[in-house]
Structure 1
Amino acid sequence: MSARRNLVWLGLTPEPERELPTAVAALRATAGGRPPSALVAAERHRVERLVLRGTQRGWLRYLGEVTALVVEAAAGAAPADPRPALVAGEVVLDHHRMLIGLPGAGYARTAAQRRALERALARLRSRHGPAPVGHFEPRSTV
């Protein structure tokens, strides 16, 4: 007997797929000292793999990693460019809020992440102003 895969979580919103790879690559680059361009393709591939072959639990685990990066960026010294943390934080927070409309425990499981993101985004906004609108594109270094 084959297990049926629950796909309802895929219908929430396309913003994480579209917005997170570039923003998360920039956050990972800041944390690891590597250039974001080297990480964007890997992040896009990871998100694509999670969406096409993953589960809601795996997707939420990934968004938990993104939450940790945003919280770390907000807790540390003011980043040179806060846009990646603001974009990633807003996208994940919006996603987690929408989980209330889905069956299952996803909304309850992400309660602590929602609170952490709300605090981190408030801290980032107080230092840098409102969240940017639209797609994050890193500043050119050329």
Structure 2
Amino acid sequence: MSARRSLVWLGLTPEPEQELPAAVAALRSPAAGRPPSALVAAERHRVERLVLRGTQRGWLRYLREVTDLVVRAAGSRTNDPKAALLAGEVVLDHHRMLIGLPGAGYDRTALQRHELERALARLRERPEPALVGPSEPWSTI
């Protein structure tokens, strides 16, 4: 590790590291519902690699990808918004905390914060998904 490499960004919060892999895997998954465990593991490995060996710039690039997934999900009515809501809230909180760090990270993420706020508002406005089939299995007996 270079003495010039700033590690201050690693101290923000563990939530992105913990919460994003499963949510991002769900957003990347071609099938609705729970993402395949291999996809979650791959996303977890990617985040781990970024945190252990990456830079703040690389981390912010990854969060830009996540932002794009959330914005895309907010514009689509075909998926369950839960994963997009979780990912969007985690990234938005992260980006808001950048104001307390040295450097231009907070300024660089201004557009993403705006995009996430709009996407989260759209996702929160969605009605709850309707239950498929009877709500009580014995009601048809």
When normalised by structure 1's length, the TM-score is 0.83
Deviation at 1:4, TM superposition (A): 2.1
For 2:139, the equivalent position in structure 1 comes to: none
Q: Which amino acid aligns with 1:9?
A: W
For 1:28, the equivalent position in structure 2 comes to: 28
When normalised by structure 2's length, the TM-score is 0.84
For 1:109, the equivalent position in structure 2 comes to: 108
Task: Provide structure 2 residue ranges, at least 5 long, that are not aligned to the other structure.
Answer: 129-141
- Give, in whole Å, the separation in 2 of the partners of 1:60 and 1:27: 18
The answer (yes or no) to whether the contact 1:78–1:127 under 8 Å persists in 2 is: no
Task: Provide structure 1 residue ranges, at least 5 long, that are not aligned to the other structure.
Answer: 130-142
Q: Which amino acid aligns with 1:122?
A: A
- Give, in whole Å, the separation in 1 of the partners of 2:42 and 2:122: 29
**3-state DSSP class of the match of 2:29?**
helix
1:79-90 mapped onto 2 (5 Å cutoff)? 79=79, 81-90=80-89
Distance 1:110 1:128, change over 3 A: farther
Deviation at 1:38, TM superposition (A): 2.6
- Give, in whole Å, the separation in 2 of the partners of 1:31 and 1:8: 37
* CA distances 1:87-127 after superposition (whole Å, capped 9, x unpaired): 00000000000000000000000000000000000000000
Question: How much is the aligned-residue C-alpha RMSD, in angstroms?
Answer: 1.9
* CA distances 1:9-57 after superposition (whole Å, capped 9, x unpaired): 000000000000000000000489xx43231000000000000000000
Q: Which amino acid aligns with 2:123?
A: L
Structure of greater relative contact order (alpha carbons < 8 Å, 6+ residues apart)? 1
Could you list the structure 1 runs, at least 4 aligned residues long, displaced by more than 2 angstroms after superposition. 35-38
- Give, in whole Å, the separation in 1 of the partners of 2:100 and 2:127: 32
Instruction: Please say if 1:7 is aligned against 2:7.
Output: yes
Deviation at 1:83, TM superposition (A): 0.9
- Give, in whole Å, the separation in 1 of the partners of 2:4 and 2:15: 26
The aligned length equals: 126
